[in-house]
Homo-oligomer: A and B are copies of this chain.
Amino acid sequence: MAKALLTADAARSLVGSVDAFLFDCDGVIWKGDELIQGVPETLELLRKLGKKLVFVTNNSRKSRRQYSKKFKTLGLEVTEEEIFTSSFAAAMFLKLNNFSPEKKVYVVGEDGILDELKLAGFECFGGPEDGKKNIMLEANFYFDHDKNVGAVVVGLDQYFNYYKMQYASLCIRENPGCLFIATNRDPTGHMTSAQEWPGAGTMVAAVSCSVQKEPIVVGKPSSFLMDFLLKSFNLETSRMCMVGDRLDTDILFGQNTGCKTLLVLSGVTTLPDLQDASNTIHPDLYTNSVHDLVKLLQQ
Contacts and interface: CB of A to CB of B under 8 A. Distances in A.
Contacts of A169: 188, 197-198
Contacts of A208: 205
Nearest to A197: B166
Contact of A162 (B32, B160, B187, B201): B160
B139 A33 contact: yes
B198 A206 contact: yes
Contacts of A143: 192, 194-195, 197
Interface in A103-142: 135, 137-142
A159 B134 CA distance: 8
B202 A139 contact: no
Given A158-B137, A188-B210, A210-B188, A166 B34 contact: no
Interface in A266-297: none
B193 A140 contact: yes
B193 A139 contact: yes
A54 to B, nearest CB: 25
A199 interface: yes
Interface string A206-225: 11111110000000000000
A137 B165 CA distance: 21
Contacts of A166: 197-198
B212 A187 contact: yes
A262 interface: no
Interface string A66-106: 00000000000000000000000000000000000000000
Interface of A: 32-34, 135, 137-143, 157-162, 165-166, 169-170, 185, 187-188, 191-195, 197-199, 201-212
Given A187-B210, A202-B207, 9 more contacts: A34-B139, A137-B158, A137-B197, A143-B192, A143-B194, A169-B197, A188-B210, A205-B205, A205-B206
19 contacts: A32-B140, A137-B191, A137-B192, A139-B192, A141-B194, A142-B194, A143-B194, A143-B197, A160-B165, A165-B198, A165-B202, A166-B197, A169-B197, A187-B212, A202-B210, A203-B206, A205-B205, A205-B206, A206-B206
